[in-house]
Structure 1
Amino acid sequence: MAIELPKGTRDEAIASIQRYFEAHMDERIGNIAAGGLLGFFLEEIAPVVYNQAVADVQERLQARVSELDIDVHEDAFTYWRKREKPTRGK
């Protein structure tokens, strides 16, 4: 599954790459080169981040599902217990 960004997000990412190069590499990078670098990161590195995020979500969901019985548990056969009158002296 290819990871693609919406056009606006892609444009912002390219601008951010260009700004990073200017600030940290003391050189400018053009729009096409920054887009190529972004494409490389999306194809090569983004799947690792994506897969880790999916694994993290699965872990959290499994923890929530395992506690589901605690959250929604209902005691059975409580009709008569609710209606019994407490006896005096006990």
Structure 2
Amino acid sequence: MTIEITKGIRKEIIVSMQRYFEENMEEPIGNIAAEALLDFLLEELGPIVYNKAVSDVQERLQSRVMEVDIEVHEDEFQYWSKHDRKKKK
């Protein structure tokens, strides 16, 4: 699965990468090099981050689904116990 990002986000990432290189590296990075690096990172590392996010969401949803039974559980065969309690009053 290819990770797609919008042109606007892509431009913001490239600007951020260029700033990072200016402040932390010995040489700045140009637009073409930054775009190539971004493409590499998206293809090589993007799936790792994406899969981790999907896994985290699955765990969270599974936890919520398990809680549904607790939240909406109704005991069965309660008619007579309710009926008997009403008689005692």
Same fold by TM (over 0.5)? yes
**Alpha-carbon offset, residue 74 of structure 1:** 2.4
Aligned to 2:86: 84
Q: For the residues of structure 2 that align with 1:43 and 1:28, how far apart are their CA atoms?
A: 23
Runs of 4+ in 1 over 3 A off after TM superposition: 75-80
Distance 2:88 2:19 in 1: 76
Report 1:54-73 matches (<5 A).
Answer: 54-73=54-73
- Which position in structure 1 is the counterpart of 2:4? 4
* TM-score, normalised relative to structure 1: 0.85
Gaps of 5+ in 2: none
Compute the RMSD of aligned alpha carbons.
1.7
Superposed, 1:2-81 pairs within 5 Å as 2-79=2-79, 81=82
Deviation at 1:9, TM superposition (A): 0.4
**Richer in helix (by share):** 2
Cα displacement string for residues 44-66 of structure 1 (whole angstroms, at most 9, x for unaligned residues):
00100100110111111111111
Work out the percentage of aligned pairs sharing the same amino acid: 63
Q: Distance in 1 between matches of 2:67 and 2:48?
A: 29
- Deviation (angstroms), 1:27: 1.9
